[in-house]
Amino acid sequence: MVRTPGRTGAAVAATAAAATVLGVGHLVAALVDPNASPFYVLGATVIDHTPKWLKDNAIRWFGTNDKLALAITMAVVMVLAAALIGQLARRSPALGAGILAGLGVAVAVLALLRPSATPGFAIPSLVGAVAGAAALWLLFRAPADHPSGEGPARRTFLLAVAGVAAGAAAAGAAGRFLGSRLRDITADRAAFVLPPVADPAPPVLPEMDLPVSGLTRFVTPADEFYRIDTALQLPALTRAQWRLRIHGMVDRELELDFEDLRARPAVAATITLTCVSNEVGGDLAGTATWTGYRLTDLLADAGPSSEADMILSRSVDGFTAGTPLDAVLGNPDALLAVAMNGAALPVAHGYPARMVVPGLYGYVSATKWVVDLEVTRFDRARAYWTERGWAPRAPIKTASRIDVPAAFATLPAGPVTVAGVAWAQGRGITGVEVQVDDGPWRPATLATAYSLDTWRQWTWIWDAPPGTHTLRVRAVDGTGAVQTEARVTPFPDGATGRHNRVVTVR
Ligand SMILES: Nc1nc2c(c(=O)[nH]1)N[C@H]1C(S)=C(S)[C@@H](COP(=O)(O)O)O[C@H]1N2
Ligand SMILES: [Mo]
């Protein structure tokens, strides 16, 4: 008599075997390349192929937790797939093992398709596939080898499943631990010394950074700075490993290392960075003082062709951005940045080097972990988000935001401080106006402007009467243009519309 596990048992056993593929793969990847872990390969592939509507909604629903939401969704899908494989394995252990191995091989192929892949990228998934298939085959064969009776066979099976699950978890945890040990760049980052700055950024004066509680601070601390990228796992690049290649339509190809940078004059600039996915009133914008090297100088050394009109910058993880060449050549504040607010870039913000270009949304300009600049043309090259339908050129649109009072706040009648920030990088902010309900637009008081490329704080004192009221804000940019009230979505080149807040006054 040949006994097979029940449906539930089969589902659990196959899930343990599938976890073995991922766990063992993760462990092997710690030794090969962390980005070759089957788990990250699957996640990164999903991210790169997520349709636009889903990506927009994911950011709207989950904000910066979008990666956690992805991991949970993937886990659910994997458990369901494994449960299915388990049902097949009840009929034929060899078939089940074959399917699991086949899926592992498919992930190995996806690994080879990653933009940063080396041939070794296939190894973790292949080793994981062998281990997972072997575990599945053993689990489903085991009950048949014990035809002696319900009790012992069932117990043996359950013990074996638990053993496989524990082994998978241990391998995954070991991979995590080893990976973080082998790629620990904390020490490298801590040893970073800020280069002497030949041309410092002007100081931020007290009248540019008003002491209003709840108002966005002028300079955003690095640990509060919004983070947007496609990296499930942060690249870990030491300064010694880092190289920047400048090539394409240039007279001379260049390859720079960190030592070469050190020999050049460093400059600093305070710039407000903004994400194209920022909704009206959203917080995907931040200001920092970036220290680094002028991109225009680096490019001048390579000698860009007059036919070229784009710089395609590439990250070590394969992300690309297409930046108009003239936005960089004409702008001394367009930087290859190595520091943020006086300290090495945080790993999440591009350590050891990233791009910062004033006036352009991040997806066309702010490549983190940048290792390659190709001088090219917009009609020859397409960057990561442009391939996914976003605009090839994306100057930042005028925006204003109410920070205080908070949404749906209840306030005492009488004088209320309304305050916020407004930005129109490249053009500057020359006015901000506030409207209560359908009343007239009233001019707010502007903080002293720092530069055209940074946001500007504003305040307005409102003599608040009792009732429920809607506060609305609009900005005027340096060209005299009033911020439009037309509501458009972030796709394909940035949201517009006016921010409002509803408050209750008692
Ligand atoms: N390597 C890499 N760089 C990247 C991205 C990315 O996905 N990968 N995203 C860009 C986008 S969309 C934005 S808005 C900025 C955000 O920079 P921050 O995370 O430092 O705020 O980084 C840009 N640089
Ligand atoms: Mo972005």
Looking at the fold, whether 62 and 82 belong to one and the same domain comes out as: yes
Looking at the fold, whether 79 and 151 belong to one and the same domain comes out as: yes
What are the C-alpha distances in Å from 233 to residues 180, 229, 317, 440?
11, 10, 9, 50
What pLDDT sits at residue 184? 83
Ligand 1 pocket test, pick from 363, 373, 387, 390 with the greatest ligand atom count within 8 Å of Cβ, gives 363
Query: Per the domain annotation, does 1 fall within a domain?
Result: no
**What's the angle, vertex CA 401, arms to CA 398 and CA 405, rounded to 5?**
165
Looking at the fold, whether 214 and 317 belong to one and the same domain comes out as: yes
Looking at the fold, whether 11 and 103 belong to one and the same domain comes out as: yes
Pick from 340, 361, 388: which residue ends a domain? 388
Looking at the fold, whether 229 and 364 belong to one and the same domain comes out as: yes
What pLDDT sits at residue 506? 94
> Residue 452 is part of a domain; what is its CATH number?
2.60.40.650
Q: Which atom of ligand 1 is nearest to the CA of 286?
A: 21
Looking at the fold, whether 378 and 431 belong to one and the same domain comes out as: no
Alpha carbon nearest to ligand 1 atom 7, residue: 229
Positions of E strands within 424-464: 429-436, 442-443, 445-446, 456-464
Pick from 153, 182, 211: which residue ends a domain? 182
Instruction: Report the separation in Å between the CA atom of 259 and the middle of ligand 2, taken as the mean of its atom positions.
Output: 30
What pLDDT sits at residue 231? 86
Query: Per the domain annotation, does 189 fall within a domain?
Result: no
What pLDDT sits at residue 3? 61
Helix (H, G, I), strand (E, B) or coil at 32: helix
User: Which residues approach ligand 1 with their CB closer than 6 A?
Assistant: 225-231, 273, 275, 315, 317, 319, 349, 362-363, 366-369
Pick from 366, 388, 410: which residue ends a domain? 388
For residue 47, which ligand has an atom nearest its CA?
Answer: 1
Query: Per the domain annotation, does 268 fall within a domain?
Result: yes
Contacts of 102 (CB under 8 A, 6+ apart): none
Query: Per the domain annotation, does 498 fall within a domain?
Result: yes
What pLDDT sits at residue 149? 46
Query: Per the domain annotation, does 394 fall within a domain?
Result: no
Tell me the β-bridge partners of 339. Answer: 291, 344
Instruction: Report the separation in Å between the CA atom of 276 and the middle of ligand 2, taken as the mean of its atom positions.
Output: 5
Q: Which atom of ligand 1 is nearest to the CA of 369?
A: 1
Instruction: Report d(CA 433, CA 475) in Å as an integer.
Output: 6
Instruction: Report the separation in Å between the CA atom of 359 and the middle of ligand 1, taken as the mean of its atom positions.
Output: 15
Looking at the fold, whether 324 and 414 belong to one and the same domain comes out as: no
> Residue 272 is part of a domain; what is its CATH number?
3.90.420.10
The whole domain housing 431 covers: 399-505
pLDDT along the chain (506 residues), means of 10: 76 96 96 90 89 75 77 91 95 95 96 90 97 94 54 81 95 91 89 95 98 97 95 90 98 98 97 97 97 98 98 95 96 97 97 98 98 98 93 98 96 98 98 98 98 98 98 98 96 96 97
Max CA separation in the chain (angstroms): 88
Helix (H, G, I), strand (E, B) or coil at 304: strand
Alpha carbon nearest to ligand 1 atom 15, residue: 362
Looking at the fold, whether 209 and 157 belong to one and the same domain comes out as: no
Tally of domains within the chain: 3
DSSP tag of 183 = T
Alpha carbon nearest to ligand 1 atom 9, residue: 229
Instruction: Report d(CA 404, CA 418) in Å as an integer.
Output: 5
Tokens read off for 418: 């309304």
Instruction: Report the separation in Å between the CA atom of 92 and the middle of ligand 1, taken as the mean of its atom positions.
Output: 48
Looking at the fold, whether 438 and 369 belong to one and the same domain comes out as: no
What pLDDT sits at residue 152? 63
Q: Which atom of ligand 1 is nearest to the CA of 350?
A: 20
Ligand 1 pocket test, pick from 228, 365, 373 with the greatest ligand atom count within 8 Å of Cβ, gives 228
Contacts of 387 (CB under 8 A, 6+ apart): none
DSSP 338-379: EEETTEEPPGGGTTT-EEE-TTB-GGGT--SSEEEEEEE-TT
What are the C-alpha distances in Å from 449 to residues 249, 266, 283, 498?
38, 25, 20, 21
Looking at the fold, whether 276 and 328 belong to one and the same domain comes out as: yes
Looking at the fold, whether 219 and 348 belong to one and the same domain comes out as: yes
Rg of the chain on CA atoms, in Å:
27
Query: Per the domain annotation, does 187 fall within a domain?
Result: no
For residue 319, which ligand has an atom nearest its CA?
Answer: 1
Looking at the fold, whether 141 and 22 belong to one and the same domain comes out as: yes
What pLDDT sits at residue 423? 98
This prediction's pTM: 0.89
